Each structure stands twice: as C-alpha cells, then as structure tokens.
Amino acid sequence: MRALSALPLEIRQYLLVTGNYWAFTVTDGALRMLVVLHFYTLGYTPLEIAALFLFYEIFGVVTNLVGGYLGARVGLNRTMNIGLALQVIALLILTVPSAWLTVLLVMGAQALSGIAKDLNKMSAKSSIKLLVPDNQQGTLFKWVAILTGSKNALKGVGFFVGGMLLATLGFRGAMLAMAAVLAVVWVGSMIFLRKDLGKASAAPKFRDVFSKSRAINYLSAARMFLFGARDVWFVIALPVYLSSVFGWDFWLVGGFMASWIIGYGIVQSVAPAITGSRSGNTPGGRAALIWALLLAGLPAGIALAMAAGYSPQVVLIGGLLIFGVLFAVNSSLHSYLIVSYAKGDGVSLDVGFYYMSNAMGRLIGTLLSGWVYQAHGLEACLWVSSLFVLMAAAFSLGLPRQGRSQTS
C-alpha cells in the first residue's frame, strides 16, 4: 500500500479505473456463461438463448449515446460507479427462486447488465484520455491497448469462472457470490475515484452527443462494420456449427471460445508493438485501412476453402485463429484512435458516440448471425463478414492518414 500511495496520482487513478473494469468484466463474462449454461440445461435452443441477450445489445446502443452525455455533465466517476451498482442489482435480480426465473425477468436483468457494461466501458476508456498528457501519444496507445486487451482476456476468464461457480455454488449461489465481490469493488470506487474526472467545463446540451468531428464519424462507421463482421459469424453461427456439425459438446465449445477470447485479448494488449511506427509516430488512418484490408479477405477465404471440400476442422479452426489475431489488431487500433481523436473537454461525448456505433455493430451482427445461418449456413455468414470488413476499410479512407507524433 505504501508503494501504491507513492505513485503519481494519474497512475493511481489509472490502476483504479483498470481494476474496476477488470472486476466488472469478469462478472460480465461469468454472467453470460452462467445464463447460457443454465438455460441450456433447461432445454432452450441456441437461438432461444441468444434471444435472452437481445435487450443486452439493444440497451448498449442507447446507453453509449446517453452515457457519454451523462459523463460530461456529472463526471466519469459517477457513470462508472452507476455501472458497477447496476451490475450488482442485475446479479441480485437473478437470485430469485427458480420458479420466478421467467424469460422476461432474465431479459430485464440482461438489459440492466447491458446498461451497466457500457457505462463502465465508456467511463474507463474516456478516463484514460484525461490521465495521459496530450503530447504522450505513445503512452496513450500503450495504456489503451493494455486496458482493452486485458478486458477481453478477462472476459474469457469470466467464462471459465461462470462454469466453475455453476458447478460449485449453483446458479443462485454464483449470483450472490459475484454480487458480493462487485459490491466491495463499488464501495472502494466510490471512495477513491476522483470526483471531477471527465466533467465538462461547460454543461453540454443533449444534441452534443452526436459528434461534429469528421474523423470520429468515419471511425464510428468503420467500428460498426468491423464488429458486425465479427459477430455475424462468431456469436451464434459458429457455436451452433461447432456443436451440430463437428459434434463438440457444450463444454468443448464454451472452452474453445473462451480460449479464443483470452488469446484475442492478449494480442490486443501487445498491439502497439505490432503496429507502432519506428519513425516516432503512432498509427493513423493509413494503418487502420491496411489492417482492415488484411482482415477483409480472410472470412471469404475460409468460405471458399470449405466449399472446395478442404477439411472444415482445419480450415475453420485455423482460420479462426488467424482472424482473432488480425481482428485484435484492428480493434486495438480503433480503440486508440477514438481516444486520440476525442476532445479532452467532455471526452465521454465523443467516446460514447463511438461506442454506440460499436454496440450497433454487435446488435446487427448478432441478429444477422442467427438469420443468415438459419437461412443459408455458415459460409454465407463468412461472406457477409468479409463484406462488412470491406465497408470498415472504405470508411477508414476518411480518417487522417498519419498518426500524431509521440514524445514518449
């Protein structure tokens, strides 16, 4: 504790924000796995289980838009703490007796969890902008990459935690345990997180939630298609295919996807080492375009190889691993660029608008994943994925070509 208190204020605040984000992310991943596993054992089909998360995604779109406005008006400490509190409430709602666990109740709890998750994420990403001097873009890229990558790795860990808690404590016990731990984190955040973090110097109007920045608008559109490209085959089509065609049991499917997410998060964390320019500049729109184009042909290539009769196990699993690496770099680049482009005063307005597009992409991808797979199969989902990445690359053409100079 003495060593921690000796650190600069900005470092201590970064560690606190990151710790909040980590704790929340583990419960978020665990909650998703608990709901999937529990309702799977009750006889729900994969598509019916996916419907339980519909409100989670819909409310994410709304929350990012409104949350950025709230963060600028009342401070990011409050929006982060509201997110933590809402997640505790969502977990406690699911501790009701089993007979009360109706589909509507679970969807309502997921809606609260979706609001909580996006308030927490928007607050964490926006906070970093304020904790790093504007002339230290290299440091900013590293901090954003660590926060983003560690979050995704821990979400994968949360999948394992959810399965372990369900096996040891049961559904209700798991919810109580997670609510108790997160409540302690929430109290600590209430005490130690800076009270004025992210509050705009002048109270913004609600119309300010729509970004006036050309670069942020293009980046947001690219982000929407990028995440739609992932979820159109990853969310529903892939796990159903692995189960129905490969004959994998549920634990193998869940374990594989959790491992993929952990690996994806690790790559995100080291993205600055992969994309950093040796000329002393951080990545800009040119890097976003190049990495999107590298990713664009991969899903189509997997679809062509499967159609040609090559081993689907080798093609799909190998392709998915390469996709994870390329997608992680793309995602990490975007996460840095939005924080770099955002205005320092009222930063959450720009970040909230951007992550609204991110949530919209997830929603579109999730809905298309179920519909396209059911109507046309996995190969069609892969073709749509490639088309979406090409759209992301097209919007990247509108970004500033070069990154900003770094002095650290």
Statement: residue 332 has pLDDT above 80: yes
Tokens describing residue 135 = 């002339």
Mean pLDDT across the stretch 147-161? 80
Spatial separation of the C-alpha atoms in residues 197 and 125, rounded to whole Å:
12
Q: What is the largest CA-CA distance in the chain?
A: 63
CATH code: domain 8-192+211-396 is 1.20.1250.20
Average pLDDT over residues 241-250: 82
CA 224 → CA 49, 91, 227, 393, distances in Å? 24, 29, 6, 11
Strand partners, 281: 405
Amino acid at 319: G
Residue predicted with more confidence, 53 or 190: 190
Q: What is the pLDDT of residues 133-147, one digit of tens each?
A: 666 767 777 777 777
User: DSSP letter at 208?
Assistant: G
pTM here is 0.78
Q: pLDDT: is 125 or 211 the higher one?
A: 125
Give the residue among 286, 292, 264, 268 at the shortest CA–CA distance from 388: 292
- Spell out the residues 6+ positions from residue 80 whose beta carbon is closer than 8 angstroms to its own: 17, 20, 119, 120, 123, 124, 127, 189, 193
Q: Report pLDDT digits (tens) over 372-393.
A: 988 899 999 999 999 999 999 9
- Give the per-residue pLDDT at 272: 80
Q: Residue 214 and residue 398: Cα distance in Å, rounded? A: 8
